[in-house]
Structure 1
Amino acid sequence: MDQIDWDNLGFNVVETKSMFTATCKQGETWQKGGLVPYGKIELSPAAGVLNYGQGCFEGTKAFRTVNNRVVLFRIDLNAKRMAISTKRLCIPQMDTTFFINAVKETVLDNIDYVPPLNKGTLYVRPIVWGTSPAIGVKPVEEYTFMIFVSPVGPYFKDGVRPLNLKINKDYHRAAPKGIGNAKAIGNYSASLYPLTEAKSEGYDEVLYLDAKDDTFLEEVGSANLFLIKDGKLITPKLRGSILDGVTRDSVMKIAKAKLELDPIEADITLKELYNSDEVFCTGTAVSVTPVGSIADEDGVHSLSDGKIGLYTRKLKEILVGIQREEVKDDFGWLFPLK
C-alpha cells in the first residue's frame, strides 16, 4: 500500500490483498466460494480455457465519492451480461445475486486500494473459465470463477484528450452470429495484432467495420462508438457482433433524460461519421472519451476541430458526476458499499 503513487496511477495491474474464487461442475450450481490471498493460480496445461478459449469476463469499477463512500455502478447489468456470455460459451450460469455479492465481498476486503477521490478508481475483473483438462473440443467438466481488483488511473496514458483512430479494413473484430455480443476472452485476442499495428503508426485504437462488406461502423477495439448530429445521439445498433456496453446504455439514458438528445441505434456509414458534429467512445475502462480524428485509406479526417465537443463534455460530466455522487443519481444506478 505505501508504495502506491496515487498521483501517477496508470492502467496497470497492482497486486492487492485478496481475490475471490469459486468452482462449479457442469450441470451443478456454483459453490459458495470465498476470498483467498491474491496470488498465482495453478492450471492444467490441458485446461479448457488454455486450449480452446472457453472463458469470459466482466469489467466494472468501484468509485470513491464526494460523500466519502465507495460505490459500485450498475453492477446488476454486469451480472446479467455475464449470464449471457456464460450461456453462449457453455459455462454454468451463475445467479445474479451470487455474482453481485461476490463482487461486493471482494471490493470490501480490498477497500483500502480504492484510490482517493479524483486519483483513480478500483477496477474490478470478474472472470470465469473452464479449468478441467480436455483434449477434444468440447465443454469441460469443471469451471472456476474468480474476481481480482486493481487500482487504476486513465486507460489512455495521456489522460482525457481526443483520440486518433484508424480504420483498418484488413481485420474484423467479430462477425454476426459469432460471439461478438459476449464478453469472451477470444474476442480481445483477435484485436491485438491490428491494435499493435495501429499504435506503431501513431494511432490510439482501431475502429472496426462490419464483417459482411465493410459498410457500417461497429465499435472501437475496447469501446462502443457514438456520434452526434443535428441534436441526435447515434450509435451502431446491436447486430449480434457488438457488445452491449454498460456505459453505452448509461450514456443513452443520460442523453435522453438530462440533455434532451434523442438516442438512436442505427446502421452508420463512414460518410455519416465524417459529417457528424461530435464523435466519442464509451466503456468501463475509457468512460466517455472524445475522438479527434479518424484515418482511413483516403487520409485523416478531423472531427470537432480536434477538440472535445460540447455534448461529449456534458455527457462525461454527468456520468462521472453520478459515479462520484457529485450529481444526484436519479436512475438508481449506484450500489453503496461503505
Structure 2
Amino acid sequence: MTTISIERSTNTKKKPPQDQLGFGIHYTDHMFVMDYSTEKGWHEPRIIPYQPIVLDPAAKVFHYGQTIFEGLKAYKTADGRIQLFRPRDNFRRMNRSNDRMSVPEIDIDLAIDALEQLVAVDHDWIPDLEGTSLYIRPFVIATEPLLGVSPSEHYKFMIIMSPVGAYYPEGINPVKIHVESNYVRAVVGGVGEAKTAGNYAAALKSQQEAKEHGYTQVLWLDGKQHKYIEEVGSMNVFFKIGGTVYTPALNGSILAGITRNSVIQLLKHWGVPVEERVLSIDELYEAGRNGTLEEAFGTGTAAVISPIGEMNWNGEKLIIGEGKTGQLSKSVYDTLTGIQTGAVEDPFGWTQQVEVK
C-alpha cells in the first residue's frame, strides 16, 4: 500500500453552528492532494492543511475544461461511529468519467485509503444534527501549462470536505421544477454520463431563468427531440404512475447516480414494481391529467431524496400529489438516510466504517 503523508494544520478553523451550515460554504482543516505526470504516474499522495492551489494561467483546465468530480458523504451514527456511503462506487464512476475525459485512471484502493485517512483526520468536523453530514468532493484537474488542444500530461487529484445541511431550502418538502424546452444540456455520445464540470456550466442559464420564475430546478429533456425525460440538474428522477415506479433508462447522456441505483435496489427489495425505460414528457403529463401520476421525486447525493410537488412545461402546470410529500418518497428518504446514519439496518452492505486512531 502506498504511504500517504500527513501534515497537520496548526491553525484550525472555527466550526459553524450545525443549524447554520448551508451547503458547500464551510470547509474542513485539511485536504488530500496527489499529482500526476506522464513520467511518474500518480505520485506524492498527501494530506495537508486546507489552502489555495497555485496554477499556471495556461493550465489546461482553464482553457479546455478537462476536469471531473465526484460527491459523497460521511455520517456520524448515534453511538459515535463514522460511516461512508458506497465510496467505492463513487470512485468507480470517477474512473468512468476519467476515461471519457482522457484523464488517467486512479487506483481505487489508494483513493479509498486517502479518503478514510482524511475523514479520520477531520472527524470532528462531521456534524450530528438531524439532516446534516460531511459532504466530500473528490476532483481532478488538468494542470499542464500548454495551450495545444490535447489531453494534459499533468493532473492534480484532490479531495476537499464540507459540513453541510439540506441542499435545497425546502429540505424534504416538495420542490417546484421547470421543464426545459429550449436549451440542451447533453446528447447521446457526448459527455452527459460523465461527471464533468461542463455539464453543469451548460445548465446554469436555464437554472437561472427557472429560479427567476419561482422554480427550484430544471428537468432536462433529450437533446435531439426535446421529448423524452432525462434528469434534473442535480438529480435523477423517479415517477410513480399507477403503482409502478419509473425512471429514465441510462442512455449515455444521463449520469448513473449512486443514489439512483440505491433507490432502485431498495424498491426491488420492498417488492415495489420499478422500471427503467424511456419516458416522454407527454406520457407523464397525461398521467397527471388522468390521475395515475401519484408521486415524483429526485435522487442525488446532495439532497438524497427531494419530492417534486409541481412541474411547469410550456406554461402548463402539473401539481403532483396535491403538492405534498408522498408516502413512498418519505419512506425511501427515511430508509436511505437511516442506513447512512446507522439508524436503520443496512442489508445491502452499502456503508463503510472509518476508524479514528
TM-based fold match above 0.5: yes
1:64 is aligned to 2:69? no
1:241 aligns with 2:263: no
Q: CA–CA distance in 2 between the matches of 1:117 and 1:162?
A: 22
Partner of 2:216: 204
> Which residues of structure 2 form unaligned runs of 5+?
1-12, 288-292
C-alpha distance 74-18 of structure 1, shift in aligned 2 (>3 A): same
Q: Give 1:84 shift.
A: 0.3
Q: SS at 2:42's partner residue? A: coil
Give runs of aligned pairs for residues 120-135 of structure 1, distance below 5 A.
Answer: 120-135=132-147
Structure 1 counterpart of 2:31: 19
For residue 182 of structure 2, the aligned residue among 170, 195, 198 is 170
Alignment equivalent of 1:307, drawn from 324, 330, 341: 324
Distance 1:285 1:322 in 2: 16
Which of residues 287, 290, 304 in structure 2 aligns to 1:287? 304
SS of the aligned residue for 1:188 comes to helix
Q: CA deviation at 1:112?
A: 0.8
2:104 is the alignment partner of 1:73: no
Q: Pick from 305, 309, 326: which aligns with 2:343?
A: 326
Residue aligned with 1:31, SS: strand
- Distance in 2 (CA, whole Å) between partners of 1:160 and 1:109 is 31
Distance in 2 (CA, whole Å) between partners of 1:103 and 1:308 is: 35
The aligned residue for residue 263 of structure 1 is: 274
The residue matched to 1:84 in structure 2 has which SS? helix
The 2-side partners of 1:294 and 1:255 are apart by 24
2:57 matched to 1:40?
no
Give yes or no for the alignment of 1:116 onto 2:128. Answer: yes
Rounded Cα–Cα distance in structure 2 between residues aligned with 1:233 and 1:119: 25
Post-superposition Cα deviations, 1:104-134, rounded to whole Å, max 9, x if no partner, equal 1211111111002415100000000111111
CA distance in structure 2 between the aligned counterparts of 1:272 and 1:75, rounded to whole angstroms: 36
Residues in 2 aligned to 1:289 and 1:13: alpha-carbon distance in whole angstroms: 21
Deviation of 1:230 (Å): 2.4
Aligned partners of 2:227 and 2:282 also within 8 Å: no
Corresponding residue to 1:54 among 48, 61, 66: 66
**Deviation for aligned residue 1:102:** 1.5
- CA deviations 1:151-174 (Å, max 9, x no partner) are 010001232210100012111211
Counterpart amino acid of 1:56? I
Output aligned runs, 1:178-197, within 5 Å. 178-197=190-209
Q: Structure 2 counterpart of 1:306, which letter?
A: G
Q: CA deviation at 1:200?
A: 1.1
Report how far residue 29 of structure 1 moved: 3.1
Residue 212 (structure 1) shift: 1.0
| C-alpha spacing 1:207/1:34, structure 2 compared with 1 (3 Å) | same
Contact 1:237 1:267 in 2 (8 A): yes
Deviations 1:53-83 (A, max 9, x none): 0000000000111231110000010010011
Q: CA deviation at 1:101?
A: 1.2
1:273 to 284, 307, 323: 284
Number of aligned residue pairs? 337
Q: 1:29 touches 1:94 (CA, 8 Å); kept in 2?
A: no
Please, what is the CA RMSD of the aligned residues? 1.3
Q: Distance in 2 between matches of 1:336 and 1:3?
A: 24
Cα pair 2:221 2:227 within 8 Å, conserved:
yes
Question: What is the rounded CA distance, in whole Å, between the counterparts of 1:27 and 1:272 in structure 2?
Answer: 54
Compute the displacement of 1:27 (Å): 6.8
Residue 152 of structure 1: which of 140, 164, 184 is its match? 164
TM-score (norm 1): 0.97
Q: 1:26–1:232: structure 2 CA closer, same or farther, 3 Å change rule? A: farther
By how many angstroms is 1:3 displaced? Answer: 4.5
Contact 1:56 / 1:184 at 8 angstroms: preserved in 2? yes
**Are the counterparts in 1 of residues 68 and 140 from structure 2 also a CA contact under 8 Å?**
yes
Alpha-carbon distance, 1:28 to partner: 4.9
Fraction of identical pairs, as percent: 39
